[in-house]
Amino acid sequence: MSTLTVHHIGYLVKKIEKAIQTFQSLGYEIEQETTYDDIRKVNICFLIKDGYRIELVSPVSEDSVVSGLMKKYKNCPYHICYETADFDTDYASLTANGFIAIDTPTSAPAMKGREVVFLNSATAGIIELLK
Ligand code: NI
């Protein structure tokens, strides 16, 4: 059985400060102020509304991990993050079901240094797995 629970929805935004204001106008509240992820070269801010957690992700430089996606998609949700209570089992199950890792488990400064890995599915798109 999968131990996955939804942790957040990752949302690409071009201008994070303006996006925060817009999300606030929709009723979102800041859960965690903007943090710079120096590994992925993005700014990250967590917002909450009605129990839903949104992660705003904004590229800081041309070589950020999301610069390619930003060119393709502009402002939009692009991944769902699942927290796992049993990483090895869930990871094996996901890869057996067509998910392919697009990086390796790496510390996430905006998530207290916890490790995350991104995977892609031809039928379900990008997910993030949080250890
Ligand atoms: Ni995320």
Domain positions in the chain:
5-130
Specify the pTM. Answer: 0.94
Q: What's residue 75's pLDDT?
A: 95
Q: How far, in Å, from the CA of 1 to the mean position of ligand 1?
A: 23
The answer, yes or no, to whether residue 96 has pLDDT greater than 90, is yes
Q: Which residue matches tokens 């990483």?
A: 87
Give the percent of the chain with pLDDT over 90: 94
Q: How far, in Å, from the CA of 115 to the mean position of ligand 1?
A: 11
Q: How far, in Å, from the CA of 28 to the mean position of ligand 1?
A: 17
Residue list, CB under 5 A from ion ligand 1: 10, 55, 81, 128
Distance of CA 36 to the CA centre of its chain: 14
Give yes or no for a contact between 14 and 64, defined as CB atoms under 8 angstroms apart.
Answer: no
What span, in angstroms and rounded, lies between the C-alpha atoms of 7 and 127? Answer: 11
Q: How far, in Å, from the CA of 96 to the mean position of ligand 1?
A: 22
The CATH number given to 5-130 is 3.10.180.10
